[in-house]
Structure 1
Amino acid sequence: MNKGIRGSLGQTPISEMRDNGAKSFYKMARVLDCFTRSRKHLSISDIMSLTGLPRTTIHRIVASLREIEMIDQDNRRGDYRLGLKMFYYGSAVIANLDLNRHAHPHVLQLHQITGELVHLHMFDGSQMVCIEREEMGAERNTTLTTIEAAPIHTTSVGKAFLAFQEEDLINRIIDEEGLEKRTENTLSTIAELKADLTCILSRGYARDDEENEIGIRCVGAPIHDSRGRVFASISVSGPAERLPESRQDALAPAVIETANRITEALRA
Structure 2
Amino acid sequence: MEGQNVQALERAFDVLETLSETHGGIGLSTLAQKTGLSKSTAHRILKTMLERGYAEKTLDGSYKLGSHLFELMSNHIDSLELQVEAQPYMAALERALHLPAYLGVLDGPYVSIIGKEATHKADEDFTRVGKRYPAHCSSMGKCLLACLSAEELEEALCDFGFEAHTANTITRRRDFVTHLRQVRRRGWAMDHEESELNHRCVAAPIFDFSGKAIASIGVSGSNDDLPDGRIDEVAQYVVRAAQRTSKCMGYVE
* TM-score bracket, shorter-length normalisation: 0.5 to 0.7
Residues 1:148 and 2:131 aligned together: yes
In 1, Cα distance between equivalents of 2:202 and 2:174: 21
1:188-207 pair list within 5 angstroms: 188-207=171-190
Unaligned runs of 5+ in 1: 1-94
Hey, what's the Cα distance between the residues in 2 that align with 1:148 and 1:129? 6
Alignment of 1:168-207 (within 5 A): 168-207=151-190
> Per the alignment, do residues 145 and 209 of structure 1 end up closer, same or farther by CA in structure 2, a change over 3 Å counting?
closer
Deviates more, 1:166-175 or 1:185-194: 166-175
Structure 2 CA distance, aligned partners of 1:156 and 1:139?
A: 21
Whole-angstrom distance in 1 between the partners of 2:171 and 2:136: 8
What code does the residue aligned with 1:196 have? H
Find the aligned partners of 1:145 and 1:127 in 2 and give their Cα distance: 14
- Residue of structure 2 aligned with 1:109, choices 74, 87, 92: 92
Query: In the alignment, which of 207, 217, 225 is matched to residue 208 of structure 2?
Result: 225
Aligned residues of 1:150 and 1:158 also touching (Cα < 8 A): no
Do the aligned partners of 1:154 and 1:211 also contact (CA within 8 Å) in 2? yes
Letter of the structure 2 residue corresponding to residue 108 of structure 1: A
Task: Give the whole-Å Cα distance in 2 for the aligned partners of 1:240 and 1:228.
Answer: 33
State whether residues 119 and 133 of structure 1, in contact with CA within 8 Å, keep that contact through their aligned partners in structure 2: yes
- In the superposition, the TM-score normalised over structure 2's length comes to 0.63
Evaluate the alpha carbon distance shift between residue 221 and residue 131 of structure 1 in structure 2; reply closer, same or farther with a 3 A threshold. Answer: same
Q: Which residue of 1 aligns with 2:29?
A: none
Alpha-carbon separation, structure 1, partners of 2:116 and 2:200: 16
Change (3 A) 1:267 1:246: same
**Residue 131 (structure 1) aligned with residue 114 (structure 2):** yes
Q: Which residue of 2 aligns with 1:22?
A: none
> Are 2:240 and 1:257 equivalent residues in the alignment?
yes
1:97 positional shift = 4.6
Tell me, in whole angstroms, the C-alpha distance in 1 between the residues paired with 2:188 and 2:220: 13
CA distance in 2, matches of 1:183, 1:213: 6
Number of the residue aligned with 1:14: none
Q: How many percent of aligned residue pairs carry the same amino acid?
A: 30
Look up the match of 2:103: 120
Pairs aligned (count): 172
Output the amino acid matched with 2:212: R
